[in-house]
Structures are given as structure tokens and as C-alpha cells.
Structure 1
Amino acid sequence: MSGDSAEQTLATIEGGAVRDASPAARSGAAYVEEPVAYDGILLAGFGGPEGQDDVIPFLRNVTRGRGIPDERLEEVAHHYRHFGGVSPINAQNRALKAALESELARRGLDLPVFWGNRNWAPYLDDAVRQAASEERTTLLALATSAYSSFSSCRQYREDFARVLTDTGLSGSVTIDKVRQFFDHPGFVQPFVDGVRDAVAGFLADGIAPTEIRVLFSTHSIPTADAERSGPREGDERHRDLGEGGAYAAQHLAVAEVVMAAVAASVPGAGEVPWELVYQSRSGPPSQPWLEPDVCDVIAGLPAHGASAVAIVPLGFVSDHMEVLWDLDTEAMDAAADAGLRAVRTPTPGIDPAFVSGLVDLVEERLRGVAAVDRPHETALGPWFDVCRPGCCENVRAGFKPAAAGLAP
């Protein structure tokens, strides 16, 4: 029996096509269009060090299984050490947790938020154990990542399956996941606001629209992983997503929406050129990753008549290390070297529109809202509640058991 067949058989034995799922999601339908009585929210984050002594152990967690020696990890550690060994991401998730709790309470929803990370304390294992100890066993997960790829979606789903197995709670706790929210209005609006303010500011200072550039930046990933992001070709719901798979297509679609909204509200903004760029690549030089690099693009802007640039962290929910270092430090330095005026626009963070949008996504599943009635800003949405077979494969490691989706 193949690994995929064995996984499908295991799922069937467990009572449905989707493992560790609520009864409503277990059948494997792309959209769950019936109400589900969730009793807790699982806020799933990446995690980050909170002191100099945490940095190398944290990086070991991030790179577990790859055999990377500490000497090489130290080459990355200087980003964290520059900020006292403290990543801002945990503080940001504490703030997001509090904001979600406040909005849930405002709406009269009795849904405690259990926060756990993939790579640092508080860990997902502890969050799920805490939920179970409070008899909150039908969980809906919110991962702090909006787009489709292995690291931003499937890896979280693998984490959920692993945690339920490792804690012995598989069978008594279920974990569903909200749809990828890249084009939900609550996620998109803070970017519209930031780009509008940046472009309007440049124009007010007398800079011509054609001298302004808007660079939408996101984390680069291996090209082979990008091509496998989203549903596999041949699935009945597969879309022709083009080069870069769902990951690139989703970012491009959102950037188009943002620029259209800005053009509609700021005279002259429709003439401002923009493009999607990438940052934070790692791995060997021989391995192709998504390009172009944000700093390389910035360096070449003066030769194309640009005098100002707005750098938009489109791929990020909050101002974590890749934003603070790769954009606020390296990209802004590149802009200064190129003689460009530069602004880095905000991430959603705890913007009220974003927080409200996340709770809207929760209510969407509590009420079983039909897919045709779900808000989405691009033609790609609304994305799936239950990930499709073969979605977001990790080329290096292959498929592992994953919650909230059909095997493999």
C-alpha cells in the first residue's frame, strides 16, 4: 500500500476523509457550509526568541531535521542579536490575542483564545493541552499567515496533526482551520490605507507619479515549493495559477486590488508603477528561489527614473524580524544608498479592520456561511476551508499527516 493510500485508509478508519476534524468538516468538502459549535480559538504562531540565550535554541527549532551546525545558525542569529536577542513576534501575538479576545467579547462570543507557537514557547502542544483541560475540544485555528504555501499553511496543519498525536488528544479534540485570508477585506484594508498615505504624501511633496514606485514585498520561498502551493493540477477545483503557484498568484492579486483602491482615492496614483518583490531568502545559491530581491530592485530604481519608493510588507501580518531587519534595516539602507526617498508602510498588526476581519472569519464558520456569500477582494477567493489533496507539498520532506485538509 502506498503512503498516500495508507493515509487515506487511516482517515477513513478515524471516521471521515479529513483527520482530526469536526463532523461538519470531516467529509472533505472544500467549504463547510453548516454551522459548527466551536468552543475555542487556537491562535497559531511562528514564535521567536525573547533573549540572547534563546536565539540559537530557537534557530535549532526552526531548522530541525536539516542538520545545520550552530556556526551557520550564528550567521543568522546576528539579526536577532542586533535587537537584544528579542524577536517582536511574541509580543505582537500577545497583543493580537488580547485584541481578538476583546472583539469576541464585544460580539458576545464565548470563545477563549489559546495561543501556541511552532518554534518557541508558548508551544502549540501546551495550548492544545490547556484547551482540553478546560473542556474546550472543538477548536478553530487562526494561523498568523495569510497565504498558501508549505510554511504558511500546510506546515501549521501538520503541526496540528502532530500535536494531537503527541498529546494523545487525537479523537477527543478536533482542529479545523479558517480559510487563508489573503484577500479578506479585513486583511487587505490596512495595506490600502498604508499605500494610500505613502503615495499621497509623495505626491503632496511634488514628486511626479511616474517617479514613485510601490514595491510589494513578501518572503521568498524555493521555486519548487511555490509551484506546488495551492491545489494540485487535476483537482476538480484547481485553477491555472501560473508561475509561482498559488503563493505568487495570491500576492499579485492582492497587490492589484490595493493599487486599484489607491488609484480610486488619490488623484494621479493610477500612474504609479508597482511590482511584487521578494526578501529573506535562505538556502544554497544553487537552489532557485522566487525573485527579484527587494534590495536588488531598489538599487536599480534610479536608472528607471524613480526618486521615491513605498515598501509594502504585503506578505506579513505583523512587524516581526523579517520586517524589522530585511525591510526596515536592509531595504531602507538600500534606498538611502540609491538616493531614494523611502517609506515602509504598516503591517496589519492589531489594526481594528484586521482584528474585526479575523473574528468575521470565525463567525463565518460558526454560522456556516455559504461560499457565495463570503467576502473576498480577488477573483481567487474565497479560499478553501478544507485544503485539497496534495496542497502545498514540501518538496524536501514530502507529505506528512495534516489536519484541516484531505490527504495527502
Structure 2
Amino acid sequence: MSFDALLWLSFGGPEGPEDVRPFLENVVRGRGVPPERLDEVEAHYQHFGGVSPINRLNLEAIDAVRARGFELPIYFGNRNWHPMAEDAVAQMKADGVRRALVFPTSAYGGYSACRQYDEDIVRALQAVPDGPELVKLRQFFDHPLFISSFADGVRAAAATLSGPYRLVFTAHSVPVSADKAAGPPAEGGYRYSRQIVEASRLVAAELGITEYDVVWQSRSGPPQIPWLEPDVVDHIDALHAKGVTGVVVCPIGFVSDHLEVVWDLDTEARDRALELGMEFARAATPNGDPRFAELVTELVAEHTSGAPVRKLSSFVVAGCTVNGAPCAPLCCEPANRPARA
């Protein structure tokens, strides 16, 4: 099939102190997050001067893809902060783009990780009448380049420790109800937590590690709503109580070092481990690895030249959509919406 461009679609992040609060309000709009939680997260951003690294990291990754001789023009748009997806699609239309692929910077299923990117596409097209056709690329949590990048990150992190360690995989927590709403059990592979567990298993298998943990981080919802647990900091406490003296944390749920990595892991989790006298190391995310740029070009080639789908799990291939239409019934449904027949 013929495509004119690639839209790099990401989450977005503030570029200065004055951006932080309106950015966070965009992120949580309609979710009932208490103001005191926003105050807490705002303080995390202000700790870094009110600037998230996510936009810079995305631009660096885009440059890495271009450096591979990538032939399609690449446009960059976000869900929650500038440059917004609507503005990117408007520019694409002005440039004469008629049909484009979309790379969402999330490897997984689930509402926030997948379906919400479909909604971003729908919103952008509603804002830009007669805009280009947009075909979203598939989920890639089990792609061999994704897995090998994390495995090497764990190896490098472990090499900085002086003794034995426990490998702990971590990903952004979500409400338990949202995770269960991601698809019926018969359609195995849609559910976010299952994919996180599978990606963790694949990385551990490449490393030859049979005992490891999968935990969660960065919850932000009302305290009365159950979220995926245990939390990574609580888990470090539990490991210490068992006599574990070192930990390597692998942020398997993240493709780049944005705030949930540099604060929740590099600051909170690290500080807690050091308080307990434990050695701590954090594995790198794939964004800066040349394999990440190669992964993107492979996903594009599946559509432009019929390249084979490379994956390491038996899970269903999901996430590819056209103009934001769901890729499968019930896939990545938000928990607060009625299931569709």
C-alpha cells in the first residue's frame, strides 16, 4: 500500500513551569483525580524545572529513524501538550498528505496505552475535515528488538552492582476494572497486564533468569478504587524484609525515560532502596537504543512492503486501526463505558 507520511503520536509533556498544571489537567480530565494528587505530581515536574524529557526524547528518536534513510516525512503530535495531534494532522493536510501511518509511542494494549491513541486520531480528524487517512501501527510489546533492548539494559544495570540482585519489572499501574475491561479471556492478549507479564517473561528468558517479579508504579486515581499492585516502592520494602541486598528495576512498561521513570524510579524507588542499604540499578528504556529506530522502520515496512510480522509471543496481533476504528470488539475498552455487542 502507498503511504505519504508517518505521524509520531505520543503522550506529551510540559516544556516549562507554567505548562505543568494545564498539562496535568489535560491528562486527567474526566477521571475524578483529586486535586491533592495533581499537587503532588506537579511538584514532581517542578523538581525538574517544570520540563518533561518526553518531547526531547521523541524528537531524538524521530531523528534516529530519519538517520536510517527512512523515506517518509515524519510529523510529531501529542495527546496532552504541544505539539498537539490536531496541529500535526492539520500540517499534514496542508502539505498534501493523503494517507499516513501512525506510530503510537506505547507498546501495549489497554485503554490508555492503545485505545486512547485511537481516540486521539478521531479527535484530530474531527478537527481537520478531509484530513488524511490515518492507519495506526500495531502493538509491539513482544517484538524481538523491543525485548533484546530491555535485556541488554538489564545486563548493563546489573553490571554496576557488586553483589546478587533481584530483577523487578515495573509498568504504569491502571485500575483493576480497566485492566479487566480490555477484552474477554477468550481473546487472550488484549489485556494490558497480561502483555506486561509476557514481555517481562520474554526479557527474563533472554537473560536466563527464572525468578523475578512484576510490579506496578505511578498510580494516580482516587484511593478508593483498586489499582494493579504491588507498588514498586512497597515491593522494595518487602524484598528488604526477605534479606534481598540488591535490586535491578526494569521499566518494561515504558519506551523512554519520561517523568514516571526519572521520578518514580530514579528518585523515589532508588532513594528508598538506598535508605534500606540495598544496591539499586535501573535498566535503560529502549528509546535511545538504535534498535528502537529499527523497530519503527520494521513496523512501517509491514504496511509499505509486506514485511513479515516479527513477534516472540503467541498473543494475538492487535492495535492496528484505520481512522481510529477499534481493531477488534471489546479490545482496550475503557472500564467506565458499556461494553459493545
The TM-score, its normalising length taken from structure 1, stands at 0.78
For the Cα contact (< 8 Å) 1:42–1:142, is it kept in 2?
yes
Q: Structure 1 residues 102 and 168, CA, compared in 2 at 3 Å: closer, same or farther?
A: same
Which residue of 77, 80, 85 maps to 1:124?
85
> Do the aligned residues in 2 keep the contact of 1:41 with 1:114 (CA within 8 Å)?
yes
Matched residues in 2 for 1:219 and 1:199: separation? Answer: 22
Where in structure 2 are the equivalents of 1:119-268 lying within 5 Å?
Answer: 119-169=80-130, 172-202=131-161, 205=162, 207-208=163-164, 212-229=165-182, 231-232=183-184, 238-239=187-188, 246-263=191-208
Q: Following TM superposition, by how much is the alpha carbon of 1:66 offset from its aligned partner in structure 2, in angstroms?
A: 4.2
Sort the Cα spacing of 1:148 and 1:193 in 2 relative to 1 into closer, same or farther, 3 A: same
Counterpart of 1:301 in 2: which secondary structure?
Answer: helix
Q: CA deviation at 1:302?
A: 2.2
Deviations 1:343-364 (A, max 9, x none): 0110011210111011110011
Shift of residue 200 of structure 1?
4.6
- Give a deviation string over 1:348-387, Cα, whole Å, max 9, x none: 1121011101111001111234xxx421122225445342
SS in 2 for 1:278: strand
- Whole-angstrom distance in 2 between the partners of 1:341 and 1:67: 37
Match of 2:218 among 280, 283, 307: 280
Deviations 1:289-348 (A, max 9, x none): 001110001011122231110011110010000001100000001111221101011001
Quickly say closer, same or farther: Cα 1:183–1:98, change in 2 above 3 A: same
Aligned partner of 1:90 in structure 2 is 55
Name the residue aligned to 1:388.
328
Q: Give the superposition deviation at 1:72.
A: 5.2
Is the 2:33–2:222 Cα contact (8 Å) retained in structure 1? no
- 1:322-337 maps to which residues of 2 (within 5 A)? 322-337=260-275
Query: Are residues 1:377 and 2:312 paired?
Result: yes
Q: Which amino acid aligns with 2:142?
A: D
1:220-263 deviation per Cα after TM superposition (whole angstroms, max 9, x unaligned): 0000111122x4456xxx12x5xxx6211111111111111112
Q: Which amino acid aligns with 1:61?
A: N
Structure label with greater radius of gyration: 1
Structure 2: distance between partners of 1:71 and 1:279: 18
Quick one: structure 1 residues 289 and 365, their matched pair in 2 at CA, closer, same or farther if it must change by over 3 Å?
A: same
Matched residues in 1 for 2:8 and 2:151: separation?
A: 25
Q: Is the 8 A contact 1:232 1:389 kept in 2?
A: no
Q: Is the 8 A contact 2:32 2:221 kept in 1?
A: no
Instruction: Find out whether 1:356 has 2:317 as its counterpart.
Output: no
Q: Which runs of 5+ in 2 are unaligned?
A: 322-326
**Structure 2 CA distance for aligned equivalents of residues 325 and 198 of structure 1:** 18
Say yes or no: does 1:64 pair with 2:17.
no
The answer (yes or no) to whether the contact 1:254–1:377 under 8 Å persists in 2 is: no
Partner of 1:42: 7
Provide the rounded CA distance (Å) in 2 between the counterparts of 1:157 and 1:186: 24
Q: Find runs of 4+ consecutive structure 1 residues off by over 4 angstroms.
A: 66-72
Find the aligned partners of 1:71 and 1:45 in 2 and give their Cα distance: 26
Kindly state the Cα deviation for residue 71 of structure 1 after the two structures are TM-superposed: 6.0
Q: Distance in 2 between matches of 1:199 and 1:70?
A: 39
Say whether the 8 Å CA contact 2:114–2:319 is kept in structure 1. Answer: no
RMSD: 2.0
DSSP 3-state at the match of 2:191: helix
Q: Which amino acid in 2 is paired with 1:293? A: D
Residues 134-173 of structure 1 deviation map (CA, whole Å, 9 limit, x = unaligned) = 111201000111110100110010110121112213xx52
- 1:83, 1:253 → 2: CA distance? 33
Does structure 2 retain, via aligned residues, the 8 Å contact 1:39–1:110? no
- SS of alignment partner, residue 201 of structure 2: helix
Q: CA deviation at 1:75?
A: 2.8
2:328 maps to amino acid? R
The change in CA–CA distance for 1:66 and 1:307 in structure 2 (over 3 A counts) is closer
Ranges in structure 1 where 5+ consecutive residues have no aligned partner: 1-35, 264-269, 400-406
Residue pair 2:33, 2:221 contacting (<8 A) in 1 also: no
2:248–2:283: 8 Å Cα contact kept in structure 1?
Answer: yes
Equivalent of 2:65 in 100, 109, 116: 100
Provide the C-alpha distance between the structure 2 equivalents of 1:195 and 1:381, rounded to a whole number of angstroms: 27
- How many residues end up aligned between the 2 structures? 336
Give a deviation string over 1:174-232, Cα, whole Å, max 9, x none: 11111101111221121010112333554xx3x34xxx211101000000111122x44
Matched, 1:290 2:228: yes
The CA distance in 1 between the partners of 2:31 and 2:256, in whole Å, is 27
Give the counterpart of 2:16 among 51, 63, 67: 51
What amino acid is aligned across from residue 334 of structure 2 in structure 1?
N
Q: Which whole-Å CA distance do the structure 2 matches of 1:381 and 1:348 have between them?
A: 23
Residue number among 38, 46, 61 corresponding to 1:73 in the alignment? 38
Q: Partner of 1:23 in structure 2?
A: none
